[in-house]
Amino acid sequence: MSKLVTIYGGSGFVGRYVARRMAKEGWRVRVAVRNPNEAIFVKPYGVVGQVEPVLCNIRDDASVALVMQGADAVVNCVGILAESGKNKFDAVQHEGAERIARLAAKAGIERMVLVSAIGADEKSDSQYAVSKALGEQGVLAHMPNAMIVRPSIVFGPEDEFFNRFAAMSRMGPILPVVGAATKFQPVYVDDVAQAVVLGVLGKASGGVYELGGPEVHTFKDLMGEMLSVIRRRKLVVNIPFPVANVMAFGFSVAKVLSLGLVAPAITADQVRNLRRDNVVSADAKTFADLGIAPTALESVLPEYLWRFRPSGQYDAIKESAKNLKA
């Protein structure tokens, strides 16, 4: 019988790529999510019955334990960028991660991979960064040989970064950003998935790996690259951090007054994170230690951002038509 992996958050941005790769490796894949009906799209990743979405609440012991029964390995891809309802940073990224590791160790599961984030730091003033760091500590306390991957900002067809700002670029002549000088090392989602799979297969040793792409860019430069791909001319304007804090407070008030119906465009915690560079540390284990050559940003962006061009799929045709001689 083929081996089984349970992927918590397996229908999310990174999780779906891990699920697809594990299916190609011949493993049975159990995709543990809050809404299985919204994760049906993972089924075609393998043959009939190979990849199955199942119900799981990462905040509940019984739920987490049930979906890992019979598993040979577990992967935790669950993460949130902003708190909502009961899904608080500590509950999801700290207690949730530790819960999976504790129950996996109890079940005798030997391999676990945790998807964390660059910047995880228990001494940070960001609740997001603190919860990520405490989650890592909780995992290693129960599974010392676990593999932890910390990607920089992740890009790919379903990302919430370039897609979001490309959509914003359709409105008005200005594209506002917070932390224009902050540095990032964008990493392709499938490269992260490849690293995770090496950990599941036992082809990578445990420990913490920081994953970044081949180039470092400032936030402003990334917006320039994105605008070049979608062929739009916009003025990228930096919003000073004090102003961004005021905006974040206003959005938080609007969220409360609307009973949660208004989602904040930015939160105070995100502003704090944007004050720090998000790049691989000089002494960290990286893609090089895994034998993976990271994919360049410019080789992937045009594959999915073309739809934000002024004429969408017809943009290239219109450009070609301009070169026709009368």
What tens digit of pLDDT does each residue of 284-320 get?
Answer: 999 999 999 999 999 999 999 999 998 776 666 666 6
The H or E element that residue 25 is part of is none
Give the integer Cα–Cα distance in Å for 265 and 263.
Answer: 6
The H or E element that residue 208 is part of is strand 207-211
- Residue partners of 224: CB distance under 8 A and separation at least 6: 236
CATH code, 141: 3.40.50.720
Q: What is the pTM of this model?
A: 0.93
Residue 304 in domain: no
**Quick one: residue 146, left, alpha or beta (phi over 0 = left, psi -120 to 50 = alpha)?**
beta
pLDDT single digits (tens) 155-212: 999 999 999 999 999 998 999 999 999 999 999 999 999 999 999 999 999 999 999 9
Query: What is the DSSP track for 209-252?
Result: EEE--S--EEHHHHHHHHHHHHT---EEEEEPHHHHHHHHHHHH
Residue 151 in domain: yes
**Bridge partners (DSSP) listed for residue 223:** none
Contact in structure between 260 and 84 (CB atoms under 8 Å): yes
pLDDT at 222: 97
Contact in structure between 278 and 172 (CB atoms under 8 Å): no
Residue 64 in domain: yes
pLDDT at 324: 66
Give the integer Cα–Cα distance in Å for 64 and 66.
Answer: 6
Domain ranges, residue 73: 4-155+185-214+279-294
- The domain tally of the chain equals 1
pLDDT at 257: 84
Residue 172 in domain: no
Residue 161 in domain: no
In whole angstroms, how far apart are CA 45 and each of 28, 55, 77? 11, 18, 17
Contact in structure between 278 and 183 (CB atoms under 8 Å): yes
Residue 222 in domain: no
Residue 220 in domain: no
Residue 109 in domain: yes
